[in-house]
Amino acid sequence: MFEEDDVDLNYPDSVNPHSRDASVPSTGVCGVSVLSCLLLACSYVGSLYVWRSDLPRDHPAVIKRRFTSVLIVSTLSPLFVWTWKEFAGIRSSQSLLALMGIRVEGLLAAATLPLLLTMVLFLGPLIQLGMDCSWDFDGLKVGFDPRFWLLCLSDMRWLRNQVVAPLTEELVFRACMLPMLAPCAGLSLAIFTCPLFFGVGERPAEPPRTNKERNKL
């Protein structure tokens, strides 16, 4: 949802990329930007582990608790952007939500183009599946069956993997971090830098459980 003109920021002279006297962003602004992104990434991932439980991560009770934590952090994530603006001394004529890419203008293109890109991404596996399997319409019929979608909505793992995780991760690691990194790295480089913070904050794999631990569940 971001374009070059979307990030309308009034930089201090020391960080203004269009300034004649400044070609390198201020170290202080870059430090605040990186630190803010790290804190936001750690807050998102850390919220998943505030609940102590011996239950597996796919247990509905664990998923519901993590839903609560992640939604709280995601709701508060715009405060990180606002705090960053104040500490970095950056001003913008846009609202906070518009700065994060959340606006009506360009919404249709922003919703359509990524969907088409995702369809192209999965085109290869779908063709492979069609070549390996006999042609029938059973799978297509399931997709149009309301009972199938009601069943999905009642599955906590499906909601986590298909709804909550994608929405909250895009909000935190894309919408909030891009405005904070753009003044320091530039918008083009910031787009490729955001995934690095996602990697830093990626959830570590849970250790395999022993047979004794499985029998307790």
pLDDT, one tens digit per residue, over 97-110 is 888 888 888 888 88
Q: Taking 90 as the threshold, does the pLDDT of residue 163 lie above it? A: yes
Per-residue model confidence (pLDDT) at position 76: 94
In terms of Cα–Cα distance, which of 194, 25, 7 is closest to 98? 7
Give the dihedral sign, CA 105/111/113/114.
positive
- Span 37-76, pLDDT tens digits: 999 999 999 998 888 888 898 999 999 999 999 999 999 9
Per-residue model confidence (pLDDT) at position 210: 52
Distance CA 119, CA 32 (A): 38
> 140: helix, coil or strand?
helix
Enumerate the H helices of 154-210 as residue ranges. 156-159, 165-170, 177-185, 187-200
- Span 177-202, pLDDT tens digits: 999 998 888 888 888 888 888 877 66
Decide: pTM greater than 0.75. Answer: no
Per-residue model confidence (pLDDT) at position 73: 94
Percent of the chain with pLDDT over 90: 27
